[in-house]
Amino acid sequence: MQAISPFRLAPYFRTRIWGFPDLAPWFDFKTEGEPIGEVWLTGEMCVAATGPLQGTSLSEITSQHGAAILGAGHAGEEFPLLIKILFPKEKLSVQVHPDDALAQKFGEPRGKTECWYALDARPGAKVALGIKQGATDDQVRASIDAANLEDLLDWLPVEKGDMIYVDAGTVHAIGPGAVLLETQQTSDLTYRMYDYGRPRELHLEKSFEAMRLQTSAGKVAPRNENDHQVLIDEKYFRVERWNLAVGVKAEALTQPQPYVQMIFVAEGAVTVSGDGFDPFVVERCQLAVIPAASGPWSIQPKGAAEIMRIVPQSL
């Protein structure tokens, strides 16, 4: 298999009615048009910003170099994880995603299980995760008709540093006030169940088919492991938090792996270097892809840095 060097991806800004016209201090990005609600970090349209693949989209890179990027045996597959930052200024609609089995019934490759890591949260920030204990399907339907589904949801306060698991089938919503790093299965299957009376289209029948009254969604406590913390370790993804000090080589972080790894910088900045490619900087809120077939690489923080290592599982 050909070697393929680490590279940084350029973010892709998505307009959303619930977003912001200005993403400072997170991104130097302002718009006069529709607000920006999502910044995609591993979207198929994100392009490599460094190295020989510069300007090539992630979907092209994955289709041309699938095995080198994702690992042996994964040629021809889609990039498995979609990582985004969410900037909700208004509350998002109440929605639900199908699991793999239901997605496949509709002819799609996979459903959507996701997790949210709070990069920041203002006091009062909250998310809704699931239907209140004991409520029934009929009560959910009645509360949609009565336009008060939000009262039947389990709302949870969000603090900076929280990791929240949202498995497929969990009815969920995000309120304003938090900035969330979202890691999800690559899928665009979202069924909107309720929109607080806003006029957007709902997908009620599919929502009820996808909805489960009992799920595993909730906050996940971090687990210390050697010199880092495992924030979540679930079927589709694992997210770790590494606090790097100046001069620390973090060799445990840069061990070769047979699968793709994403390095997201939550605080500070790092330089990624190695044999056969020009060193490049990954600033706060940027993401680097470390292909499965990468040669040896290393990471040098510029000052203290907090990074997240995100890897797919069950590839």
The pair of three-digit structure tokens given for residue 27, joined into one six-digit string: 């991104």
The single residue listed with the structure tokens 């004991």 is 134
The pair of three-digit structure tokens given for residue 166, joined into one six-digit string: 């949202």
Q: Which residue numbers belong to the known binding site for Zn(2+)?
A: 97, 114, 172
Q: Which residue numbers belong to the known binding site?
A: 97, 114, 172
Cis peptide before 25 (omega within 30 of 0): yes
DSSP state of 94: E
The single residue listed with the structure tokens 């445990």 is 252
How far is residue 230's CA from residue 222's CA, in Å, rounded to a whole number?
A: 6
The pair of three-digit structure tokens given for residue 102, joined into one six-digit string: 């239901």
DSSP state of 90: S
Of 171, 170, 164, 167, nearest in space to 143 by CA: 171
Respond yes or no: is residue 223 known to be catalytic. Answer: no
- Which helix (H) or strand (E) segment holds residue 103: the answer is helix 100-105
- What is 174-231 written as a DSSP string? E-TTEEEEEEEES----EEEE-TT--S---HHHHHHH--SS---EE---EEETTEEEE
Q: Tell me the residue type at 225.
A: E
Of 8, 16, 110, 192, the active-site residue reads 192
Cis peptide before 80 (omega within 30 of 0): no
The catalytic site residues sit at 192
